[in-house]
Structure 1
Amino acid sequence: MKHLHRFFLLGALALFAGLFLAPLYVMVVTSLKDMDQIRAGGLLDLPSDPSLAAWSKAWSSACTGTDCGGLKPFFMNSIAMVVPAVLISTVLGALNGYVLSKWRFRGSELIFGLMLFGVFMPMQVVLLPMSQVLGWLGLSTSVWGLVLVHVLAGLPSTTLFFRNYYVGLPDELVKAAMIDGAGFWRIFWRIVLPLSTPILVVTLIWQFTQIWNDFLYGVVFTGAEAKPVTVGLNNLANTTANVKEYNVDMAAAMIAALPTLAVYIIAGKYFVRGLTAGAVKG
């Protein structure tokens, strides 16, 4: 009976996994076909003569509106935007969590509560005021303007992660270091930060995924030369000259998704470990 129960459980899990991965399979096999096979064959058929021609076109020569330079410039814009945005928001979140958990002051709980509003606030609420701020700073159509937007948008989440993690660290560590003469920064760099590897991994993966996959901020706050890969993918999918090239669209979608897929494949287990180590505790 026990073995039968396990068999049905594994079968159900395999079925759900197959259903979940089916769109990814369709995207991959379609991107490796030419248009003749796509028209003549079935959706799930394997490519008879696999080719990366659609990938090459999606990367370097597919039209995204009036420009036919492929996804490459948009991809590079995303890299230039996501790396500093992730690092800055993570460092600031770590500092905020450190202060709000180990260096509490009068009103710190109120400040933390107000910051939590940012976790649940709809993104559309900040579009107009953020546009005005970026205009005043002269960053309204640049990659660095988008970096600033994502740092501010991600700060509530990163602060929440680090603060809840640091609450679980013994206060005696900080007190003992203070008795030995260590100050705010030395305690942070030499004691707290080395103990933060699990939550650092969680935050880096979370922020990378959120920022890389964002579309709304990218389409609203950037000019033609600074748009991220999600906007480029949308433009490519909605641009049709004569015949809709589904293989190119699928290849472009895979190119846009590869960084986040790679991050989860490489560091997914560390993400789960970080969560269970206290990232969502209390």
Structure 2
Amino acid sequence: MRNAALLSWQPRLGRLFIYATLIAVAALYLIPLWVVLLTSFKTSADIRSGNLLSLPDVWVLEGWIKAWGTACTGVSCDGIRGYFVNSTVMVLPAVALSTLLGALNGYVLSLWRFKGSELLFGLLLFGCFIPFQVILLPMAQTLGWLGLANSTAGLVLVHVIYGLCFTTLFYRNFYQALPQEIIKAARLDGAGFFTIFWRIVLPLSGPITMVTLIWQFTAIWNDFLFGVVFSAGDNQPMTVALNNLVNTTAGVKEYNVDMAAAVLAALPTLLVYAVAGKYFVRGLTAGAIKG
């Protein structure tokens, strides 16, 4: 009986050990976020005299208000409000266009194969591994020819082009798993290229569309390199403004303002994952990385 009792406790102890380890790792991972949040609600005097992990003596919104409306980001002291709008205006069309074009490319490469389609897909796949720095000069020259240099439209174009490799890969691998009988039956009924795409294939693409939207939104919103190279002045995105704010100092360094601005910059992506994170995992398991 004693041995049986010991054996029954072993799975529970193992489970408790796993949970304790996961909680400890999660707590360790979340310490930076905890420090950032606490610091953003502290006064400057509280930050200089207190511990990083300690709660504020007085909870204040001074850092948040100044970061949003009056903090200096270089020569401008209008906060990050305008740059937040810039990022929003840039991200929404860039995500929508790259997702739609990726779906169309994946549809063609998986269900309407042609001579050289595998070679084309291989080249697109190779594009996923090209570093950002490689395309800076040719892209800058192209934007200059098109008259889109240092503009929001030019930045949208850059993100659409660079993200097209990833979105095509996602959709192509997902469409590979679709039953070919559906497409053949539609062709026999007289449905054409775009009819099949809009009425049959695209409605079945919900899981992979969520994966692509979240992937592209996160990548584009958090991008710094393209933003600092292909934009200027009032057209700069949030990440560039955050960098300028942190590196602009007049008098005493206001860490509460910097931390509040950092949270505001990260808030959209945090909300996206909080709301649609389960769809992201579901989309991946539905075939986004198969093939």
One of 184, 209, 212 as aligned partner of 2:193: 184
SS at match of 1:140: coil
1:45 is aligned to: 54
2:3 is aligned to: none
Identical amino acids, percent of aligned pairs: 65
- Deviation of 1:53 after TM superposition, in Å, equals 1.3
Does structure 1 residue 75 correspond to structure 2 residue 84?
Answer: yes
- Deviation of 1:47 after TM superposition, in Å, equals 1.5
1:145 is aligned to: 154
How many corresponding residue pairs? 282
Kindly provide the amino acid, as one letter, of the partner of residue 124 in structure 2.
M
2:103 is aligned to: 94
2:70 is aligned to: 61
- Deviation of 1:48 after TM superposition, in Å, equals 2.3
Distance 2:60 2:276 in 1: 30
Distance 2:127 2:231 in 1: 22
1:129 is aligned to: 138
- Deviation of 1:50 after TM superposition, in Å, equals 1.1
- CA offsets per residue over residues 174-199 of structure 1, 9 Å max, x none? 10001011111111111101110000
Distance 2:212 2:133 in 1: 23
TM-score if structure 2 supplies the norm length?
A: 0.96
Counterparts of 1:186-265 in structure 2, within 5 Å, are 186-265=195-274
Distance 1:49 1:243 in 2: 20
- Deviation of 1:40 after TM superposition, in Å, equals 1.3
TM-score if structure 1 supplies the norm length?
A: 0.99
Distance 1:7 1:258 in 2: 33
Kindly provide the amino acid, as one letter, of the partner of residue 102 in structure 2.
G
Q: Which runs of 4+ in 1 moved over 2 A?
A: none
Gaps of 5+ in 2: 1-9
Q: Which has the larger radius of gyration?
A: 2
SS at match of 1:225: helix
2:116 is aligned to: 107
- CA offsets per residue over residues 127-185 of structure 1, 9 Å max, x none? 00000000000101100000000000000000000000000001111100010111111
SS at match of 1:106: coil
Kindly provide the amino acid, as one letter, of the partner of residue 258 in structure 2.
D
SS at match of 1:155: helix
1:4 is aligned to: 13
Kindly provide the amino acid, as one letter, of the partner of residue 131 in structure 1.
A
- Deviation of 1:29 after TM superposition, in Å, equals 0.6
Distance 2:198 2:11 in 1: 51
SS at match of 2:235: coil
Kindly provide the amino acid, as one letter, of the partner of residue 203 in structure 1.
T
Distance 2:56 2:234 in 1: 36
Distance 1:50 1:162 in 2: 47
SS at match of 2:233: coil
Does structure 1 residue 158 correspond to structure 2 residue 167?
Answer: yes
